[in-house]
Amino acid sequence: MKSVEQKRINIMGRKLLLEKQQVEGIRHYDVYRREGGYRSVEKALKMQPNDIVEEVKKSGLRGRGGAGFPTGLKWSFLAKPDGVPRYLVCNADESEPGTFKDRYLMEFIPHILIEGMIVASYALGSNVSYIYIRGEYDWITDILDQAIVEAKENGWLGKNIQGSGFDCEMYVHRGAGAYICGEETALLESLEGKRGNPRIKPPFPAIKGLWGCPTVVNNVETLAAVVPIINEGAEEYAKIGVGKSTGTKLISACGNINKPGIYEIDMTISVEEFIYSDEYCGGIPNGKKLKACIPGGSSVPILPANLLLTTAKGEKRLMNYESLSDGGFASGSMMGSGGFIVLDEDQCIVRHTYTLARFYRHESCGQCSPCREGTGWMEKILLSIEKGKGKLSDIDLLWDIQRKIEGNTICPLGDAAAWPVAAAIRHFRDEFEWHVNNPEKCLTENFGLRHYADAIHVPV
Ligand SMILES: Cc1cc2nc3c(=O)[nH]c(=O)nc-3n(C[C@H](O)[C@H](O)[C@H](O)COP(=O)(O)O)c2cc1C
Ligand code: SF4
C-alpha cells in the first residue's frame, strides 16, 4: 500500500472545487459552461438514479457540514413511498463561527452548487429542491437566484431537463439569521415558515422531513463535490486523500495567521504544514508562537499547540477526519466544518471561551432546560473568572454544568456549547486557576504560554 508521503507526490495541490476559481467570469453561466460546467448533469441523466447513489457511496464522500456522515449512505436511507414527493435541501446556513467556505463557493462559483444539486435531485427523485441560505448572505441570494435563472434558460432546470423526462425546480430561501437554523430539522421547520426549533429525532428527515415528506439535507460543499465525483468517477475521487478522508476539503482559515482565507486541501498534509507553509496559512504574524487552535469550527474542542501538531501517540497530526480526532476528546478534536481558528501566545483562553459561551447562550432556541439554562450559567461564570471575580470552585462548577448539558438535549447545539468549555478546562485549567488566583493581574496581564512553551514545536 502506498504511504501518505508517496501518495502526495501525484496529487498535492490538486483542486476539484476551486480549480476554476481564477477564470474570469466563472460566476456566469456562459463562462462556467465553456469551462466544462454541467458535464456531470449530462453524464448523470444517462445513468440510473441508483447507480449515482452507488457512485457517491463508492467515492467515500463524507458530509462537509460538520458531522462527516457518509453522503451515499445518507442518500440510500431516503424513503420512497408511492405518490409522496421527495425533497433535496441544501444547507447553506453557514453560521458556525470560523466557517466561511460555503460562502466562497456560492459567491464565486454558484453554478457548481446548482450543478451538484441537479445531479443529486435526479439521483434522489426530487423534483423540487431548495437552498436554505443564512439571512446575512443577502447578496449571495441574488447571485444564486441569477444563476438559477441562467441554468433554467439553458435547459438545466425546469421541465424535461435536456430531453431526459426529468423535471426539477430550484428555489433559494433566505433564513432570518439564526445559528440554530443550520441544524437540519430546525432548518426544515424554518423552511416551512415556522419558528426554527429543532425536532425530536427519530423520525429522521430521510423518513419524515420537509412537509412530512422524505428529505435529504446536505451541506453546500458536499453537494458541490458530487460534480467531480460524477465527472471523474468515484474511484478517481477516492484516490485523493487518505483512509476515510477521501477527496478534497475546503478549509476556512482565520485568527492569528499571515494568510487567512479558503484553502482546498487533499487531506494528506500535516497540520504543521498547513499553518506554517506559504502555500497555506503562511505562519503566525510577528514571530509569535502558536498557542492553540480550534481546527473545525467553534463547536469542536480547542487543542493546545503540542497536541495540535502531534497526536498523543507522537505521530504528526494530519488535516483529515481520522487524524484530527485521534485520541478522542482527551487529546484530539474534530474536522467539523473545516473552520480553522488559530490562536497565538497573546490570546487569553478564558476570554476566548467566554466569547464562545456568549454566542451559544444567544443562539440557544430555549426548548431544553439544560441548554437554555446551562449556556447562560456558563457565560456568567466565565465572565466572572475573566474579570478576576471568580472562585476556584467555579472551575469545577463549569465542568459540572457542561457535563450535564452534553447528551441531554434535543439537538447537538447543547453539545456544541459544552465541548468548547470542557476542552478549555481540560487543556488550560492552570490558566483558569491563574485568573482566580491573580484577580488584579489577570485584568492587565496575559497568561501567555507559560509551560506550554516547552512543549510547543516552533519550526525555524
Ligand atoms: C446548531 C447546529 C448548526 C448547524 N449548522 C450547519 C450549517 O450551517 N451548515 C451545515 O451544512 N450543517 C450544519 N449543521 C449540521 C446539519 O444539521 C446537518 O448535519 C448537515 O447539514 C448535513 O449535511 P452533510 O451531511 O452534507 O454534512 C448544524 C448542526 C447543528 C447542531
Ligand atoms: S439543545 Fe439548545 S438549541 Fe437544541 S433544541 Fe435544545 S434548547 Fe434548542
- Residue 14: its pLDDT value, please? 75
Domain range summary for the chain, segments of one domain joined by +: 16-239, 242-344, 349-444
The CATH number of the domain covering residues in 349-444: 1.20.1440.230
The CATH number of the domain covering residues in 16-239: 3.40.50.11540
In the structure, which protein residues have their CB atom closer than 6 angstroms to any atom of ligand 2?
Answer: 180, 198, 364-368, 371-372, 409-411, 413-414
Mutate to test the pocket of ligand 1, among 57, 75, 91, 133 (most ligand atoms within 8 A of CB): 91
Topology annotation, domain 242-344: Ubiquitin-like (UB roll) (3.10.20)
Distance (Å) from CA 293 to ligand 2 centroid: 26
Q: How confident is the model at residue 10 (pLDDT cuts 50, 70, 90)?
A: very low
161: pLDDT strictly greater than 90? yes
Mean pLDDT confidence for 275-304: 96
Give the residue among 161, 168, 201, 160 at the shortest CA–CA distance from 183.
Answer: 201
Q: How confident is the model at residue 107 (pLDDT cuts 50, 70, 90)?
A: very high
If you take atom 4 of ligand 2, which residue's CA is the nearest one? 411
Q: How confident is the model at residue 218 (pLDDT cuts 50, 70, 90)?
A: very high
Positive/negative CA dihedral, 333, 339, 344, 348 = negative
Mutate to test the pocket of ligand 2, among 197, 405, 408, 409 (most ligand atoms within 8 A of CB): 409
In whole numbers, what is the pLDDT of the chain averaged over residues? 94
73: pLDDT strictly greater than 50? yes
CB of 184 closer than 6 angstroms to any ligand 1 atom: yes
Q: Is the entire prediction scored with pTM above 0.75?
A: yes
Q: What is the pLDDT of residues 145-157, one digit of tens each?
A: 999 999 999 999 9
Q: What is the pLDDT of residues 189-214, one digit of tens each?
A: 999 999 999 999 999 999 999 999 99
CB of 345 closer than 6 angstroms to any ligand 1 atom: no
420: pLDDT strictly greater than 60? yes
Atom in ligand 1 nearest the alpha carbon of residue 74: 25
If you take atom 20 of ligand 1, which residue's CA is the nearest one? 65
Mean pLDDT confidence for 171-195: 97
Q: What is the pLDDT of residues 436-454, one digit of tens each?
A: 999 999 999 999 987 665 5
